[in-house]
Amino acid sequence: MPDTTAADPLAHYPSWARELARRYFTKTLNQFILHGNVRDLVPTLDERGQRAYVPLREFLAEDLFAGRDVVVFYDRSDGIHFEDPESRKDFNRALSGYDTIFGTEYAKKLPKDPARVFALLDNYFRLRLADGKRIACVVDYAETVIPMSEAASYSSEDRAALVTLQKWAHDPLLLRADFTLALIAENLNDLSRAFIQSPYNAELEITFPEMDERQGFVAWFLGQQRDGRARFKKLSSVEDLTLAQNTAGLGYVQLRTILADVLENERPLTFESLSEKKKELIEAEAYGLLEFVETDYTLDMVAGHAEAKQHLRGAAEAIKAGRPDVMPMGYLVSGPVGTGKTFLVTTFAGEIGIPMVKLKNFRSQWQGVTEGNLEKILTLLRAMNPVAVMIDEADAALGDRNAQGDSGVSSRVFGQIAQAMSDTRFRGKIIWFLVTARPDLMPVDLKRQGRAEEHLGLFYPSTREDREELLRVMMRKTGVEVDMSDVPDALLDGERTYSGADMEALLTRAKFRAATHAFDEEPAPAEAAPSGDGVATEAPAPPEAAEDHSDGARIDRETLQAVVDDFVPPSYPLQVELQTLVAVMECTSRSMLPERFRSLDREATVRRVGELKRLVGDR
């Protein structure tokens, strides 16, 4: 390490810090926006040249900007702060002169609002830079200083702060002098769009640590603790390498939390408890906007859909074999309601052996928050790879490039998702599943090759074999036992098509009917009979009332027949036909269509889809 540092004094810096230094030395930029994993620790070297991990603020003040004469920090809560007493005294002297000239009394109480703070700092910077001083200014929580908002919504204070920062970015004096401004924000989309699109500043993302970096931190942390290595080995069944491999998406602070819990609280660490801790930490980091999909189901639990299952099994094998290069960027899973689209994707999560998360509602009523939420989610997904992502009701969740009436939020959300889905660096590492019953309502840009490349269609069972398979699955799910010979022909061979949801509802109703009839026919409690010594005892239960130890509820033919005859499902045949045909039209592989749909005339199908849309009043 010392030899490397001697050859390159920046070699031990993280990549974003090296990039900042490189761009600064061009003398064309003096403003940098640090975003991403900004609340984590930063790896560096201590005064003895040994590895250390410190907060970002400490790294900036004592390492990256250690050669500056003045390092000043500002945020709206604490106001102006200096890293050393001498700088503070020097600022107070300049402040007294400012008060004399402008008739203010800031020496008694410093302001905290950006407009007045930046006016003070501008005066101070120009005075000291003229004296040859080297200055660095760090503005933390920058989203509270120059928030994302439409220009017409800016307050006079926001406008003043934005204009001052823009002036500093291309001021000749500041560019010539040794001056750097660093703004810190978790999400780039939380900042003023006019500011981040300016060519006079640079955005630098602080990423989550990679696997080897996490492993290095684990070794460092255990080495810092008394008998840390021995105690950890005694309490943990998870090796260092396994711990590092299974904590993608976590930062150093979160890793420290896991390790400290083991060493300080003496809580054993197993692979199962590690998975649970990781899930909790990532969901908290994502503000509860990501939900892990955990299931013991596999594709063997899916009834029917043979073509889709065959393809997904092949995809699972490719992932397990370490071949992300052969995977599609994403999937569009469509089909009419009740065909098990979400369930199919969930079972795939149990098949692949990598985490799957589901995007929850990341939209907010507050301007700018939706884009910031989505940026946070996408940053975590990139750090967590490999990971599968399910977006249910994708036609409603993802917005549209041409959406109107929401100040452009939907179009910006669409742009963020589209950009993330087409990033080929993450092919096979972030696998997108867009689930919808109406793929025709989704923008073409998300469905094209390079994004949701494979389109899978799921349809109602049409053959007796498929219906029997689906019924058996629903019996296991509902805990109902029915002999297949007792199943009414209308359920298996009739013209009416029953979805999985329909069959589940039928079996649940049959179980309810059997239970309520049993309650109606239950005999009254037997009267107590006197025993030989005159003490009342309970009459013995008849043999037929013995406890039933069967796993499921037995339903006879008559009960099931009565329920099928009585069952009136919601009637929306036109919508179901429309959803079926658009799923057929969307399928990107003829071989993955059931046989009955492979020979459909495409032009006739397009005409029928148009006719159905008119009939249901759809667009």
- Please count the CA atoms within 13 angstroms of the CA of 575 that sit on its side-chain side: 11
Distance between CA atoms of residues 604 and 88, nearest Å: 79
Superfamily classification of domain 292-457: P-loop containing nucleotide triphosphate hydrolases (3.40.50.300)
Neighbours of 114 (CB within 10 A): 24
Given a cut of 90, whether residue 122 has pLDDT beyond it is yes
Provide the pLDDT confidence category of residue 529 given band limits of 50, 70 and 90: very low
User: In the predicted model, what is the mean pLDDT of residues 521-540?
Assistant: 44
Rounded Cα distance between 85 and 560, Å, is 84
- List for the chain the helix, strand, coil content (%; round to 5): 50, 15, 35
Phi, psi angle pair for 178, to nearest 5°: -90, 80
Q: In this structure, what DSSP letter does residue 524 have?
A: P
Other C-beta atoms lying within 10 Å of the C-beta of residue 516: 10
Over the stretch 302-316, which tens digit does the pLDDT of each residue have?
888 888 889 999 998
Q: Is the pLDDT of residue 276 over 80?
A: yes
Q: Do domains 2-206 and 292-457 have the same CATH topology?
A: yes
The residues pairing with 554 across neighbouring beta strands, listed in sequence order, are: 481
Average pLDDT, the chain: 85
Return the ∠ at Cα 395 (arms to 614 and 375), rounded to 5°. 155
CB 560 within 8 A of CB 485: no
| pLDDT tens by residue, 538-552 | 334 433 333 333 456
pTM (2 d.p.) = 0.75
Beta strand 70-75 with 356-359 is: unpaired
- pLDDT > 90 fraction of the chain, expressed in percent and rounded: 38
pLDDT above 70: residue 181: yes
pLDDT for position 363: 65
**First-last CA distance in the chain:** 65
DSSP 63: I
- pLDDT band with cut points at 50, 70 and 90 for residue 530: very low
CATH number belonging to domain 2-206: 3.40.50
User: Helices 409-421 & 369-384, crossing angle to 10 degrees?
Assistant: 10
For residues 478-504, give the mean pLDDT: 84
pLDDT of residue 542: 39
What tokens does 12 get? 């031990």
Domain boundaries, the chain: 2-206, 211-285, 292-457, 462-517+552-619
Of residues 81 and 395, more confidence is placed in: 81
Distance CA 509, CA 504 (A): 9
Asked if residue 347 has pLDDT above 60, the reply is yes
Mean pLDDT of 436-440: 91
Tell which wins on pLDDT, 519 or 96.
96
Instruction: Specify the amino acid at residue 160.
Output: A
pLDDT tens for 194-246 read 898 888 899 999 999 999 999 999 999 999 999 989 999 999 999 988 999 88
Q: Cα-flanking dihedrals φ and ψ of residue 442, to 5°?
A: -85, 145
3-state SS assignment for residue 202: strand
pLDDT of residue 502: 85
Residue 555 has pLDDT above 70, yes or no: yes
Confidence of residue 365 (pLDDT cuts 50, 70, 90): low
The answer to which of 69-73, 82-86, 285-289, 446-450 has the lowest mean pLDDT is 285-289
Sign of the dihedral defined by the CA atoms of residues 149, 154, 158, 159, in that order: positive
What does the angle CA 239 – CA 245 – CA 247 come to, to the nearest 5 degrees?
A: 100
Is the bond into 443 cis (omega within 30 degrees of 0)?
A: no
Mean pLDDT check: name the lowest of 146-155, 397-406, 597-606.
397-406
**367: pLDDT strictly greater than 60:** no
Among the listed residues 354, 355, 352, the one whose alpha carbon sits nearest the alpha carbon of residue 318: 352
Which DSSP letter does residue 454 get? E
% the chain with pLDDT above 70: 88
pLDDT for 2: 45
Cβ neighbours, 10 Å, residue 551: 8
Residues in the chain: 619
